[in-house]
Structure 1
Amino acid sequence: MTTAALQPTERSTVRRGKHRVVTDRAVLHRILDDALIAHLGVQAGDHPVVLPVAFGVDPHGPDADGTLYVHGSVASHWLRSAQEQTVCVTVTELDGLVLAQSAFNHSMNYRCAVVIGVARPVLDAAERERALALIVDHSVAGRSATLRPNTAKELAATAVFAVSLHEASVKVRAGGPGDEPNEQIPDTWAGVIPLRRVADAPVTADYATAPIPPEVAQCDLSAQNSAQTGR
């Protein structure tokens, strides 16, 4: 895994809130580890489309500074539009609602990563299998090893794309509200409502006869709050 700092390009340079920019590539990987859903933006003909996608990450992948994988149906127009085109993949983890004493100073605590790159079709059979396993394991670690093999029909119906993690930016906000001392008033509450993701007990499908496996029973989907602070 590369340890090089994030080096902003013209497209990935943060213009506002620069004090929240994080250049540590390890933070990018932690955000991607925590998130379950990414949003992929692509120009689909005469209009842009942004859609939620499941994803997987290979920090040692074949692309510069690691690889992010997404998949979908080969029949999807938006996915076909992404092939060999520049796309934007965004991941956001919401850690808290920041309530100030003025509407202007209301905010949210968050960790956000933006990745820009060309969507490379994954055609090599071995890489496709690995990419699909990574996407499954991103939800529940170790899950792919317990599944039946993909059928030829399923693989033919699935498109897989890879995006390099080289061109990326990260912003983080943590901490309390930012009311200035001369703006503070005594009769309005201010503070933070922390948010976290939790998983309820697994619900077994009607047709499943196997017991709940350890990797599912012990699944922890709660995202860890960032230790960084900022206004």
Structure 2
Amino acid sequence: MASTFEPTDRTRVLREPHRGIYDRGAIYKILDEGFVCHVGFAVDGQPYVIPTLYARVGDAIYFHGSAASRMLRTVSEGVPVCVTVTLTDGLVLARSVFNHSMNYRSVVALGKAVLADDPAEKREALRAFAEKILPGRWSEARQPNEQELKATSILRLPLAEVSGKMRTGAPLDDEADYALPVWAGVIPLRLAAGEPVRDPKCDASLPVPSYAAHYKR
């Protein structure tokens, strides 16, 4: 497997091309950090964009839902999709409103998703979802039974036509604006976990698992 994705006419970054990312490892790192992707597709000329949980396994990403889901039924029929993931890393405050920006990392993946029918593949995808949400949870919580597996559709999107984009660093002001008496800089942003809140129906004698009590992103 090549260490980089070959840019295509559809994935080549045209705006600020120096921010483009094609390195497979860097792109996979972004995908592994995110929780939610947006799946774009069109039906009879009407575009839809649906947010959903995803997980990467090897050189593919999986998303899942009810077997009755319109998105999953439509996409499984071979409709082309555009899947995006965005991580927001900071607010970039410039001296002019025009030059304000954000530091971010993003990925765009194009292709056709296929239905994962093999029970072993479905179970492995569901394990990946659980472990992505909270590493260690799959081995402790009850795992899906046969009825739940049948009620769940899982789609696999091979990662073949993919690119990323990233902005980092300080604001970029017009040269004349650097002398303005206006504070400028970056406000870093990150996703932070709060204190675990016990389910009222949870046995009070059960301790909070270590992986939950010390969870960090």
**Where on the TM-score scale, by shorter chain, does this alignment land: which range?**
over 0.9
Q: For 1:7-29, what per-residue CA distance to the aligned partner results, in whole angstroms no more than 9, with x for missing partners?
A: 11121111211010122211111
Distance 2:190 2:131 in 1: 21
What residue in structure 2 maps to residue 224 of structure 1?
none
Residues matched between the structures, number: 214
With structure 1 as the length reference, what TM-score do the two structures score? 0.88
- Give the match's secondary structure for 1:16: coil
What residue in structure 2 maps to residue 204 of structure 1?
198
What residue in structure 2 maps to residue 145 of structure 1?
139
What residue in structure 2 maps to residue 63 of structure 1?
none
Give the aligned residue type for 2:57: D
What residue in structure 2 maps to residue 56 of structure 1?
55
- Give the match's secondary structure for 2:98: coil
RMSD, aligned CA: 1.4
What residue in structure 2 maps to residue 179 of structure 1?
173
Structure 1 unaligned spans of 5+? 60-65, 222-231
With structure 2 as the length reference, what TM-score do the two structures score? 0.93
Does structure 1 residue 219 correspond to structure 2 residue 215? yes
Compute the displacement of 1:202 (Å): 0.9
Contact map agreement 2:95 2:180 (CA 8 A) in 1: no
Equivalent residue for 2:66, pick from 66, 73, 79 = 73
What residue in structure 2 maps to residue 229 of structure 1?
none
- Give the match's secondary structure for 1:104: helix
Distance 2:72 2:215 in 1: 30
Compute the displacement of 1:3 (Å): 5.3
Distance 1:45 1:205 in 2: 44
Give the aligned residue type for 2:63: V
Runs of 4+ in 1 over 3 A off after TM superposition: none
Correspondence list, 1:114-133, <5 A:
114-133=108-127
Q: Which has the higher helix share?
A: 2
Distance 1:46 1:117 in 2: 18
- Give the match's secondary structure for 2:190: coil
Identity of aligned residues (%): 39
Distance 2:141 2:81 in 1: 31
Distance 1:118 1:196 in 2: 32
